[in-house]
Amino acid sequence: MPHSSTKHSRGPDLRNPLVFDTRDLAPGAARALTRTAPAPEHMGVELARVPAGADLGLEVQLEGVAEGVLVTATVTAPLECECARCLEAFSSEIKVRFQELFVLAADAGRAEDAEADDSYLLDDIGLLDLEPAVRDAIVLELPLSPLCEEGCQGLCVECGVRLADAEPGHGHEQRGTPWAALRDFRADEPDGGEPASGPAGQGIPDGNAGPETTRHRTDAVPDQLKEQ
Ligand SMILES: [Zn+2]
Ligand SMILES: [Zn+2]
């Protein structure tokens, strides 16, 4: 285990509110603390993040156990999100609860076990840096597809307007859409509408497709049909 002085000097700093002094916490003893701490940087996923420096609300219980300190914590943090459907920015909040064992780094054998177990370490003298555990717990719970509101309608597929901002019943003239063109096209079929996607695929029967404009729009239809 590297116990160099360099590492020690970069170790937990009690001025950081995410660091807790557990030196006087005997096995069997417990202590509950409530604190506010600034959020560390880089706590986010693609569409949701905790702004660096924002207030993290911490409710922490520390219990001395034989191996080190058992931490039970509830962390509340503000979130900045982008809606996965309509891309609107919005604010939210996340609350996570976790329990983690911090083992004494001074005990080399236990420290190696801890690394093998992915446990967290107390530093040599019993200072507990909660930041990695807070980060892991929050990042794990961040929403991968946040929604600005339940049932967000997203964007209009035709014009891209955010449907929540559009007038009620926002829509577009049915004429002019590929589906309208398809209906026109089928109505024009002499035998009442043979599917346009035979083995030959994209072919449009000559002569029966109506006016030039309609035939042009119909070109877009077979690909869409294949996706359905
Ligand atoms: Zn939305
Ligand atoms: Zn639209």
Question: Ligand 2 center to residue 7 CA distance, Å?
Answer: 58
Ligand nearest to the CA of 84: 1
Ligand nearest to the CA of 177: 2
Confidence of residue 145 (pLDDT cuts 50, 70, 90): very high
pLDDT surpassing 50 at residue 31: yes
| Residues 164-199 pLDDT 10s | 999 999 999 865 555 655 555 555 555 544 454 444
Ligand nearest to the CA of 156: 2
Question: Ligand 2 center to residue 169 CA distance, Å?
Answer: 10
Question: Ligand 1 center to residue 164 CA distance, Å?
Answer: 8
| Residues 82-118 pLDDT 10s | 999 999 999 999 999 999 999 987 665 655 665 666 6
Q: Give the domain ranges of the chain.
A: 5-141, 178-222
How confident is the prediction for the chain on average, in pLDDT?
79
Q: How far apart are CA 67 and CA 27, in angstroms?
A: 9
Count of H helices and E strands in the chain? 6, 9
Confidence of residue 222 (pLDDT cuts 50, 70, 90): very low
Cβ atoms 50, 76 nearer than 8 A = no
Query: Which residues have a beta carbon within 5 Å of ligand 1, which is an ion?
Result: 83, 85-86, 148, 152
